[in-house]
Chain A
Amino acid sequence: MNTVIEARGLRKAYGDKPVLKGIDLTLERGRIMGLIGPNGAGKTTLLKGILGLAPVEGHLQVLGLSPQRYRTALMERVSFIADTAILPGWLKVSEALAYMEGVHPRFDRARAEGFLARTGIERRSRVKELSKGMITQLHLALIMAIDSQLLVLDEPTLGLDILYRKQFYTSLLNDYFDEQKTILITTHQVEEIEHLLTDVVFIGDGELKLNSTMEALERDFVELQVAPEQVAQARQLGPIHERTMLGGVSLIYEGVSPQVLSPLGEIKTPGLADLFVAKLQTPAQKAASQGRAA
């Protein structure tokens, strides 16, 4: 079975306010998907649905099971770090290791010890004696030592300094990930995960604004940088986004061939952050930014 997450027409509303407006999503084994969206876009609700922590309407299966009904069984094969999840202050590092070893059949204590050895965290320390960054490191060490089929990371590096963030993502790829595993990750630091994703999903206002593999993204979107005199001509080709930059304008096109664009200026694959802005801007915001550009 290769489909890790299968969602069709997921809906959810809090009172009158719809949070998810019919989400279709498929995640295959061996992929690393970035779920990117502004605050309040429905990101957290979607993740909670996938983890069985909140009920959602529609068809949803994780590793072939309904996450709400089989939550406990799923947690043997799915691991996650929620952005708000905090290790309890009274817990000692040694106890955390012993507990995980005791309750989790797929927890590899030696691996966790190996991850911890790279940090300065001592076994006898309590969580409340550790710094915020160390607590995150401990949590990541515990979770990465689980041989799970799906790892869900919600803002995993929040509060970590840039050195450790880089180290974490390197370690995630080298020490954790393999073709049997699947990762779903959300973060605000889009640039940091861009290079490791195989799939990317933009969510805004309860809908998917983009759902693509990274290869398809390179094919479908082109960023064109033109000098001011070519802007009028470039605009006629229907850019989905433009922004002023030093010495010219940068425009993003969807479904326009690079051959058509290249005579006008320099072309490249747009960064995820720019693409995100292009896809999630409201018409009003778009008008404002174009007004400035013009």
Chain B
Amino acid sequence: MNRLPIQLPIQFRREFWETRGSFVRTPIWIAVVLAALLLMGMVTSSFEINMALSELRQSPEQLNELEDGAELVQALMRGDLFSNHPQVLRMALAAISIPFVFALLLISQMYLLGCLYSDRKDKSVLFWKSLPVSETRVVLTKLVFGALLGPAIFLVASLAVGLLHLLMMLGFASFQLGVEMPGLGTLLSTFIGHSLGLMSGWLLFALWFAPLFAWLLLASAWSRKSPFLLAFGLPVAVMVVELWLLRSVNLWSAMWEPSKQAFEALVQSQLRPWALLEHWGNALLAPAFWLGGLVTAGFTAGAIWLRNYRYEL
């Protein structure tokens, strides 16, 4: 994975080299494991689904027990599942992105928490500082990498496995169950819509979540012993003191609100990818979104300042 198809600026390539394990190999492994599980699942489920469907054909009254799912199963049995319920196609794609996004959330936060600490810990910081690269460039690179560029491979891997899942489902449904195939236009627009939704959803997520990302970066630059303790311990301590003295939970709300918006944006752009403009409009019109931008800038500036002017070497 040393040769990327596009030559990124050297500072970003350096980040890929350092995080090969987390940002390159992890999504590839998740993709491989998921693809294997899907293939295995298809072999076993082809028997089970056939059995279940023939059972339902013999005693249709069992369908009522499925409640909401009844209509889908009927459509499947009728053979018009994809034309009447195109959201099934979308869900096949969205379901696959869930494990990728969860792993990505964990990895991007771990990366940001460690990136300005690990070079001080392994003492390579003096090597980096002996080169004509400003700390502003270093810190901004890491923020953009951790929030946007590193996640790109996860998203691409998720789309690839999603496409595989979709094609497998279609093949199985049409060859095994005789369900009518959706048109190529429907397929393409579903896939492109999902891809755009996923990309845009992550971008929106990252922007809403940016103050927290930047906080992790600041903790990483600030900490002497344990960035984790600082990043999580300090806010918790402040929240406890706030609750005790002021009987308020303002800090909690200040953190919770943008996180909620971030996850909401991510989920919504998966569920309703056609409403992208609406999601963006909602964000851009929210004062909290812009306030978060200010906080992000402040935390990032703090991290840059610490890298430049805290002398502990």
Question: What residues of chain A have their CB less than 8 Å away from a CB belonging to chain B?
Answer: 48, 51, 53-55, 71-73, 75-76, 79-82, 84-92, 94-95, 98-100, 102-105, 139, 143
Contacts and interface: CB of A to CB of B under 8 A. Distances in A.
Contact of B10 (A84, A86, A89, A99): A99
A48 B311 contact: yes
A76 B13 CA distance: 21
Nearest to B19: A90
A86 B130 contact: no
B17 A91 contact: yes
Question: Per DSSP, are chain B's interface residues mostly helix, strand or loop, or mixed?
Answer: helix
The contact size tier of chain B is 20 to 34
A89 B122 contact: yes
B129 interface: yes
B11 interface: yes
Nearest to A127: B124
Contacts of B311: 48, 53-55
B130 A72 contact: no
Given A84-B313, A87-B127, 13 more contacts: A55-B311, A73-B132, A75-B130, A82-B130, A84-B123, A85-B126, A86-B123, A86-B124, A87-B124, A91-B18, A95-B14, A99-B14, A104-B132
A86 B133 contact: no
A78 to B, nearest CB: 8
The 9 closest A-B pairs by CB, nearest first: A102-B10, A85-B126, A88-B124, A75-B132, A72-B134, A76-B132, A82-B126, A54-B311, A86-B123
A86 B127 contact: yes
Contact of A98 (B13, B20, B124): B13
Contact of B17 (A85, A87, A90): A90
B133 A103 contact: yes
A75 B124 contact: no
B118 to A, nearest CB: 8
A247 B30 CA distance: 78
Q: Which of B17, B131, B134 has the most CB of A within 10 A?
A: B131
Given A72-B133, A104-B132, A85 B124 contact: yes
Contacts of B123: 84-86
B299 to A, nearest CB: 22
Contacts of A72: 132-135
Nearest to B14: A99
A84 B311 CA distance: 14
